[in-house]
Amino acid sequence: MDRAEGRVTAAVLIIGDEILSGRTQDTNLGDIARYLAVHGVDLAEARTVPDVMEEIVAAVNALRARYDYLITTGGIGPTHDDITADAIAAAFGVALHEHPEIIAIMTRRWPEADITPARRRMARVPEGGELVKNPVQGPPGFMIDNVFVLAGVPTIMRGMLEDVGWRLKGGAVVVSRTVRVEGSGEGVIAAPLEAVAKAHPTMSLGSYPFFGPDGYGSSLVLRGRDPDEVAATVGQLISALKAAGIDNAQEISA
């Protein structure tokens, strides 16, 4: 880990009794750490707390004050023990409201009668919060100030991360672009990705797999200091993927 002055730091807060009981093995911490590194952000601390309001609030306030960013995972589902949105609102001293975009998403998906009180819970976002897209399934996450609130289910969490990176002001690394591949696993992606990475030794290329409605896919993140080189590499990567039989790779951010 870089201890240099001027580095950009983040913390992760894992929320959930199931991690602390040993019932569920957390894998989100490592995924987030690697994603942040590609964006020039150092993960400096992580905490795991139970589904208890005052514990979540205390940890959120300690970590968001101390680090440039805080990413939380877990507790945004529809059941009574999903209290992360409430806790974030309490930590910021703001109210929760039903976000009209989330209600609109639900209205497109379900008939009115199926938008139960439990589902409406998932539409609640603290005042001032912006949505973080969920490309996988279910309602979006949100961000408020320097805090990103993501799902706990790893496939969904990784999908949401795609909408986090472009908002981060990273440290040493300056330019980041993302190429998305759907329907292909990392086993197929690895060889062309590695070939392109080897041709650009000063750049950083990472693969962040997700599992969505159309099966496996991956976000390929390219970072470098030279914007022209990064732009050229995006094209080279898409060509290399096509040569390997993957013809739906496309850039999702620039």
State the nearest-atom distance from the C-beta of 28 to a copy of itself, in Å.
10
Tell me how far, at minimum, the Cβ of 152 lies from a copy of itself, in Å: 9
Smallest CA-to-CA distance from 46 within 71, 81, 82 is with: 71
Contact partners, residue 103, CB within 8 Å, separation at least 6: 115, 120, 123
Query: Rounded to whole angstroms, how far apart are CA atoms 150 and 30?
Result: 15
**Looking at beta carbons only, is 215 or 235 nearer to a copy of itself?**
215
Of 36 and 89, CB closest to a copy of itself: 36
Q: Does residue 179 contact residue 250 with C-beta atoms inside 8 Å?
A: yes
Residues ≥6 apart with Cβ < 8 Å to 76: 82, 84, 85, 122, 139, 141, 149, 150, 151, 152
CB 75 within 8 A of CB 152: yes
Residues that bind a copy of itself (CB under 8 A): 1, 3, 17-27, 29-34, 37, 42-52, 55, 77-81, 114, 116-119, 121-122, 137, 153, 155, 176, 186-191, 193-194, 197, 204-211, 216, 221, 223
Cα–Cα distances in angstroms (integers) from residue 119 to residues 78, 80, 106, in the given order: 6, 11, 8
Closest approach of a copy of itself to the CB of residue 76, in Å: 11
Q: How far is the CB of 145 from a copy of itself (least distance, A)?
A: 22
For a copy of itself, give the closer residue by CB, 58 or 231.
58
Whose Cβ is closer to a copy of itself: residue 47's or residue 64's? 47
Nearest residue (CB) to a copy of itself, 79 versus 250 = 79
* Minimum CB–partner distance for residue 100 and a copy of itself (Å): 19
